[in-house]
Every structure is written in structure tokens, then in C-alpha cells.
A and B are shown apart, each in its own frame.
Chain A
């Protein structure tokens, strides 16, 4: 009996051509991606090079690399803007904001995920409508009411407002996640085992939704950190200013020192860059969980 050798795959021009085409496609895709990021990167580039320039260096060359390379703008900005104090204020207000957003949205999302009541769609619809109202519409009446109650210049109140502002986002993110991650049968299994709604919330819903809770906290914190409008309306006393408020007011207070302004902006955004750099994967995961199997 003769044995036939198995057919040998023919390596010819075709597969190689295919590889080259694949590589070209990859290069084209990367070039396009980089081109898309340029408009976003340019302000950042400008900010960084400006912060490291001396006053004269900036006057001579606005768009080129710093020459000489100076760090003094940072120390001046830190001292004149009381940025240390401002960073602490921001941390307090944004931290409270993140906490309040979680505390308010988590039980509401859990209720929405478990209830069969028609009230749910009314609640979700109302929250969505309120969420869509531009901040500028409610900020002045709120200021009037708060100043009547002597609650302006108060970081706790500012944090609470940040939290409430971010609650709709938290509610929707968490509701979408819980509806998928804690299906009816899991709740029913817990109910049959003797669990009350509070047990289900604390022992099942909260631990299961930890990645989404972290995402909500981070998003609320970052949003609150970046806010200028609410802080500017509610905080008149300079010692209560948040870091973004301090950083944006260099121009008006000390004439135009664009380099100090840039240095203050970098200081104010550094904590956020660090948070995103560390938690990027977790934040994206938290945003996309529940959107597919």
C-alpha cells in the first residue's frame, strides 16, 4: 500500500500580499487616530510649554519649546494663588460630591431595578428631564435661596450640590448595570432565603456593582473638580476657593500672567491625570459593563 503525503500548503505571493495590506491598514488607522488627537493635544502642549517659560522667554517665542527652562512659575502660582489650600478645598468638595452621588443614586437604582411599579418610569423620566435643564437656569435661584439661609461659602454645601448634580448619571449607570447583573431570579432567591430589601441592597446589589460604583465616584469627583461655575457663584471668600476657581482667576487679580495661569492649570489638573492614569481600565470597564454579554 502506498502512502500519500499530506498536501503541503502552498506559500506564494498571496499570503504575503495580504500581510502587507494588513500592515498598511494598521499604519493608516494609527495615523488617522493620531491626527484625531492633535486638536485635543495642542492646548495641552501650549499649556505645558508656557508654564515652563520665563516672562521674557514667553514674550520672545510663544509657540516654541521653553528656553530657558524655568520652574519658578509653579512656585509663584502656588504661593500667590494659595493653591495648597485650594487643592484641599477641591478635594473636600469633590470628595463629598462623589460620596453624595453614590449615596443618593445607589438605593434609587436598586429600587428601579427591582420594582415592577409604574412609578419607576415616572421617576426615571423626571430625573432625565431635570438632568437636561442647563445649570445656568437653576444656579441663580439656588444662590438666592442658599444665601438667604446663610449657606454660601460652605464647602459641605458645595459638595452636596455636586453630588446631587451627578446623581442622575449615577442612577442611570447603576440602574442599567443592576438590571442586567442582578436578574429577577437572584433577587427572588434572596427573598425566598429570607432577605429583606435592605439585605439585598447591602449584601448583593452593592458588592456586585462595586466596579460601577467606583466609576460613578470617579466621574462625579472629576466633574466636581473641574467645575468653575457653581464654585464661582457659591464661594465668595477666597479662602474657600477650589483649585479650578483659583487657577482661573489669575488673569483678573494679578494682571495677565499667562505663565502662572498655565502653571496653576497644570497643578489643578494633575490629580485628575493621576486618577485617570491609574484607574483608566477600571473606569472604562465600569462604563461599559451591562452594555453587552
Chain B
């Protein structure tokens, strides 16, 4: 059964700005769907449209089986958790959690039982008589969750609920939100700009950019088979190295600046479309973690680069190096990079990054070799940015 479905949903503001553009999306019952994308990509607008806090300009929204476009927010059978938690400061924790039930005139005894049950799930029992001002950030977040839980809705909507917490608490609450969602089995639409949250929490992740849905799939699929350059550059940290390259005749080799990598013929079996790009330029992507330090210099299977900086992460080494192939500077990549850079400024030092074992001796200023597994390369059309599969 589908809990929420969006069919060709758009949001156009009076000034003509398309905040959400023709989005199709389905959230199954019990599914945890994450909407992720850079700031201003329309993910929160989309969520607010599902909540009924923004009007839908065109398209159809279904919650459960009924069309909900014109249903007022309170009757949509949804519950929402806000970024600021939006707790009522003059009410106790119990009153905050019980607020939606009080509005529905649920009998007092039943209301108390439900509030206590929700508080038990969230570990808030001993705080029920406190006011929000007396609670920590994590506890407030849980009260906001409690207010959503008691409604027993068809769908939870969560708008960056963890972004106001400090890093350590965020990791804790991430696991807790996932645990509660699984326990209750309620479909969830969760908005975040944090790709780690998206990948760790979502059953599926929908990547948005400028109001357009780029790809919606399981986190591993997004990572392994990004459908375009934007998703490739946005998902994964440190981000994927993307170069302009040229495929050799018969797609048996790849020219990357002055270096030539051999491509096995099996690659054409897994990615048959690559054959039509033989002899043409392509964009090639390599994830830093798929570039281990080469143990032997087999020609055609290693990428050589000049190390500009190496940063120890304990178990691994983040190696910044340069090669003479041009980095891809398309708008797709820049948009994704902007968001990534705000999270970690890893890419600002060198042209390329490799993540190697910390015990490998790497010298800054020297030339290093990195083993390339051709099966883990990503290919994109340089004109459209679409993945070549």
C-alpha cells in the first residue's frame, strides 16, 4: 500500500519561481523516505505541500488512497516535526504531547494513557510535568516526536529535526528516530541537507536539485549507481573525483590527461551503452575510497598523481593529489560541491582525493600510484550529465 503519492506535483510562486517542478514520488507504508538536496532545492517546500502548509500549484497529492490537495492540514492524517521543534512554551511536556488529542476531544483517561505510552517510548516519563524551557535540546526534540506519535498518523513529516542538535547528540538521535520509526512502522517523509543522515536513515532517498527530482532509490544504489553528475557529486564524502576523459576505440581504454587506463571487455557487458561512446569524450568518476594505494605498478591499472597534501584520519589517510586531466566544472557539479564544501572543506586543497590505508607511506610532494578498479568507475555523458549504463 502507498501512504503518500505525489503525481507531477509542482509549486510555482506568484513571481514565477518554480520551487518544485513536476515531482513524482511514492512513499510506501512503513517506509522511511528521505528528501535530500542542497539549500533551496525545494525539499522543505515539498514537505510543506504534503503537510498542507503550502498550496500545490499543479499535480495530485494522495495521502492513503484519497486525494489530499484541498484537504486542510488538520484533516490530512499527518503529523509533523519541525526544525525548531515548535513546542508550546506555556504547556508541560504532557500537555504538548497530548495537544493533538485534546483538539480531537479524546476522553481524558484515553489521552493520559496515550501520552504516557508515547513518553515511555521516548524515555520522557520523568519529564512529563516539565515545561519545554526546562529541557535540553535532545529532550525537546523527543517531545516534538511525542506530539507526532500520539496522533498515530498515516505519515510522519520531519523537517530537518536534528539540525539544531550538536554533532554527538545528532548521531544518537539519528539512531533513535530510526528505531522509533521502525517500531511504529509509520511511513515517514524526512527532509535533510545532510547526506550522512539521508544515507543512514532512509530506506530510500530522493535527491532534489532546483525543485527537480534527480534520483530516488535505496542509499546503496545512489552511491553505487548515481543517475547523473549531480547525484554523483552530491552523494559520498569525500566527494567523487570527476574528470573529463576520452574513451579509446572499442571502449578498451580510457585517456585521462597524459595517462591511459586499460578497460576490461567485461565492462561493456555491465555497461553496454558505453560502446556508443567509443572514441568520444566522457566524464569519468572515481570515488576516493575506491582508489587504494597501488602495491605494484601494473601499467594501465594504476593512476599516478603528485601528492599535494595528506591528512591522517586515524585509520585512513586522505591524500590530495593532482593529475593533468581537467576536473569537471559543470553547473551540476558546482551545485553539489557548494553543499559538500560547507560540510567539509576537503576538496579545496587539491584537484583529486584518494582515501588510502593509514599505514601506506605517502610523501607530500612525491608521486604516488593508486590502483584503479575499472568496474568501480562511473561514466557520464559530458553533454547531458546522465550516467552511461
- The interface of chain A, by Cβ under 8 A from chain B, is 181, 183, 185-186, 188-196, 199, 203-204, 207-208
Contacts and interface: CB of A to CB of B under 8 A. Distances in A.
Interface in B87-101: 87-90, 99-100
Contacts of B53: 188, 191-192
Given A186-B88, A204-B88, A194 B104 contact: yes
Interface of B: 51-53, 73-75, 78-80, 82-84, 86-90, 99-100, 103-104, 147, 151, 157
Contact of A207 (B84, B87, B90, B104): B90
23 contacts: A181-B89, A183-B84, A185-B82, A185-B84, A186-B88, A188-B51, A188-B80, A188-B82, A188-B86, A189-B80, A189-B82, A189-B88, A190-B88, A190-B99, A191-B74, A192-B80, A192-B157, A193-B103, A195-B74, A199-B103, A203-B99, A204-B90, A207-B90
A191 B100 CA distance: 10
A185 to B, nearest CB: 4
Given A186-B88, A192-B80, 7 more contacts: A192-B52, A192-B73, A193-B79, A193-B100, A194-B73, A207-B90, A208-B88
Contact of A192 (B78, B84, B88, B104): B78
Nearest to B95: A203
A183 B100 CA distance: 19
Nearest to B150: A193
Contacts of A185: 82-84, 86
Contacts of A194: 73-75, 100, 103-104
A199 B100 CA distance: 11
B90 to A, nearest CB: 5
Nearest to A194: B74
Contacts of B73: 191-192, 194
Nearest to B88: A204
SS class of chain A's interface: helix, strand, loop or mixed? helix
A201 to B, nearest CB: 13
A209 to B, nearest CB: 9
A213 B162 CA distance: 35
B15 to A, nearest CB: 15
Nearest to A186: B86
B86 A189 contact: yes
A160 to B, nearest CB: 30
Query: In the complex, which of the residues A181, A183, A191, A207 has the most CB atoms of chain B within 10 Å of its own CB atom?
Result: A191
A192 B74 contact: yes
A189 B151 CA distance: 13
B86 A208 contact: no
A204 B53 CA distance: 19
A1 to B, nearest CB: 34
Contacts of A190: 88, 99
Query: In the complex, which of the residues B53, B79, B104, B147 has the most CB atoms of chain A within 10 Å of its own CB atom?
Result: B53
Contacts of B84: 183, 185
Contacts of B100: 193-194
A192 B79 contact: yes
A28 to B, nearest CB: 39
A203 B80 CA distance: 19
Contacts of B99: 190, 193, 203
A208 B74 contact: no
A193 B100 CA distance: 5
